[in-house]
């Protein structure tokens, strides 16, 4: 039994090492440089062994995307937990979203197809991709006094927030934004303005 547990542990370690290697390559050389052969070289395995864990590069991208959504969801939960009022929670959550995007730039790129190809149909199969929407919609609903979290009003307000924040993040990932100080001020002004509109 102990040897079976050891084999499973080694398999999981190899799987994690493959994902770490993939992210390392992307951080150093960009998404266009990622290949199964390069991953194999980094972890000093043969390419066929990588295929025992992931059927192709898309499978690795999907797993990294899943990881990204889990980290983002944890960050959003922590940000929300620091405040009691829904307006403050929303502001903190969107700032946490912004911070996540730049602290985990490569993951954000693959999650949303910024500077890399992203199969939306593939990402939409991940239950984890729904987590940010669920977390934000709950707070938006509370702020707007709407119990039905699937309401069109909540959906519309969520996409208003997301369009502004994601747009600003994308502009900056493409190195077309202003200074960090100006970006943060634009972000805060936009979030505050939308929050005020929810309370009117």
Predicted confidence (pLDDT) per residue in 23-59, tens digit: 999 999 998 899 999 999 999 988 888 999 999 998 9
Q: State the Cα–Cα distance between residues 164 and 193, nearest whole angstrom.
A: 11
The answer to whether residue 179 scores a pLDDT higher than 80 is: no
The answer to whether residue 109 scores a pLDDT higher than 60 is: yes
The answer to whether residue 154 scores a pLDDT higher than 80 is: yes
For the domain made up of 66-199, the CATH class stated in words is: mainly alpha
Q: Which CATH superfamily is domain 1-54 in?
A: Homeodomain-like (1.10.10.60)
Please report, for the chain, the start and end positions of each structural domain, with discontinuous segments joined by +: 1-54, 66-199
Q: State the Cα–Cα distance between residues 90 and 85, nearest whole angstrom.
A: 9
The answer to whether residue 1 scores a pLDDT higher than 80 is: no
Q: Once rounded to an integer, what is the mean pLDDT over residues 135-154?
A: 93
Q: Which of 119, 129, 76, 65 is CA-nearest to residue 98?
A: 76
């Amino acid at each position: 039994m102990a040897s079976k547990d050891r084999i499973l542990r080694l398999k999981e370690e190899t799987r994690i090492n493959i994902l770490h290697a993939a992210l390392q390559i992307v951080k150093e050389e960009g998404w266009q440089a990622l290949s199964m052969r390069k991953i194999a070289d980094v972890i000093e395995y043969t390419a066929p062994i990588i295929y025992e864990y992931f059927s192709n590069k898309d499978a690795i991208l999907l797993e990294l995307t899943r990881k990204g959504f889990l980290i983002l969801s944890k960050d959003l939960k922590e940000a929300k937990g620091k405040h009691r009022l829904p307006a403050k929670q929303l502001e903190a959550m969107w700032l946490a979203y912004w911070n996540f995007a730049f602290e985990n730039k490569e993951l954000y790129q693959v999650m949303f197809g910024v500077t890399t190809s992203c199969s939306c149909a593939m990402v939409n199969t991940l239950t984890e991709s729904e987590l940010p929407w669920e977390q934000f919609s709950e707070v938006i609903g509370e702020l707007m006094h709407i119990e039905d979290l699937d309401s069109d009003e909540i959906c519309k307000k969520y996409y208003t927030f997301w369009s502004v924040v994601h747009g600003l993040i994308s502009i900056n990932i493409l190195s077309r934004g202003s200074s960090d100080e100006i970006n943060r001020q634009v972000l805060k002004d936009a979030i505050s303005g939308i929050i005020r509109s929810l309370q009117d």
